[in-house]
Amino acid sequence: MRKPGPDTDVVLSSRIRIARNLRSFPFPLMATPEQAEGALEQLLGVAESGRLSGLGEMPAYRLSEMTELEKLVLVEKHLISPALAGQSRSGALILGPDENISIMINEEDHLRIQCLYPGFQIREAWEFASKIDDIFEEGVDYAFDEKYGYLTSCPTNVGTGIRASVMMHLPALALTGQINRILTAVTQVGLAVRGLYGEGSEATGNLFQVSNQLTLGLSESEIIDNLYSVARQIIAHEKAARERLLAESRPRVEDRILRSYGILKYANIIDSKEASQRLSDVRLGLHLGLLTDVSQETLNELLVSTQPGFLQQHHGEALSAEQRDMTRARTIRSRLANEA
């Protein structure tokens, strides 16, 4: 997210996740420790064979050797799922050099390949993820059925095994009262809308993850094209709503943004929910041209560095809720002061 990307004023990131399983082992949730270890060894064997060397250095980390705090930070950075963080039985992570590639082993499925790109680059992310999938498919025998496609632990992933998603910042649609109508329309065309951390998470800070819901009966290109088309429409609606806010409610919108900016610059205590909302307001102000004292890179950084796990890792010890709120406020004040 430190790198520029298309439409980053609305789309923070694009993600492709591919779920695969090995034919010769039960799904991870049903596997014995010995079977899970066997699947791990096969998949790490592909990584260690040099087949991934063209992608840069990609070290592997066993979850059993990580602290709970280290795993929480990886979840907050979207590099592993909460499900993988919650279990360490033969779980592992293969991480790309720029953290744009994360490969989870023995999560819900034996293999989950994830590619993250900045901005609206869902097609580019798919092309890259597909190359990694091909490399693993050359080295192991995937569980595949001629009728149903790739077999997965959860039936909702059967078929292509692909989850394509874009993380969108939609404050103007929320402020103009259009967000519920837009998101309802999105779900009616086979897409799902979730919060920052996926299924079951709350959409805080006006951040919404829009992804495909169907993986069976559609080709990979149809899934990607459908998401691309709908996301492009949402981007257009959000940008139109921003123009409307400036034209019809500029004094009120400017006041809201400057108030949030002032609170972030001077607050001594701030919880994660308020911080997310205030950062959303400031991000909107930046893209409306109402604020120039902060950069998008800084806002992206604060989105991660103010999360509970990251704060505690940076501080070097566990913190109480109040200590986290004080540390979060101090982190934001310091970062914004450096922008001035």
Burial 301-320, CB ≥16 within 10 A → b, else e: ebbebbbbbbbbbeeeeebe
DSSP 195: B
Q: Is 260 among the annotated ligand-binding positions?
A: no
Long-range contacts of 252-258 (CB under 8 A, 24+ apart): 253/175, 253/284, 253/288, 253/290, 254/285, 254/290, 256/281, 257/281, 257/282, 257/284, 257/285, 257/288, 257/290, 257/291, 258/285, 258/290, 258/291
Cα–Cα distance between 313 and 72 in angstroms, integer?
9
Is 262 within any annotated ligand binding site? no
Query: Was 285 annotated as part of a binding site?
Result: no
Is 243 a known ligand-binding residue? Answer: no
Q: Is 13 annotated as a binding residue?
A: yes
Q: Which residues contact 144 (CB under 8 A, 6 or more apart)?
A: 23, 150, 151
17 is in an annotated binding site: yes
Asked whether the CA dihedral 154, 185, 239, 215 is positive or negative, the reply is: positive
163 is in an annotated binding site: yes
10 marked among binding-site residues: no
5 labelled as ligand-binding?
no
The reply, when asked if residue 14 is annotated as ligand binding, is yes
- Is 15 marked as binding a ligand? yes
Q: How far is CA 109 from CA 25, 142, 151, 153, 201, in A?
A: 11, 11, 9, 6, 21
Residue 164 assigned to a binding site: yes
181 is in an annotated binding site: no
DSSP string, 290-322: S--SS-HHHHHHHHHHTSHHHHHHHHTS---HH
* Vertex 254: Cα angle to 244 and 238 (nearest 5): 35
DSSP string for residues in 112-156: EEEEEEESS-HHHHHHHHHHHHHHHHHHS-B-EETTTEE--SSGG
20 is in an annotated binding site: no
**CB crowding 82-120: b at 16 or more within 10 Å, else e:** ebbbebbebbbbbbbeeebbbbbbbbbbbbbbbbbbbbb
Annotated binding residues for ATP: 13-17, 78, 112, 163-167, 194-199
- Please state the residue numbers annotated as binding site: 13-17, 78, 112, 163-167, 194-199
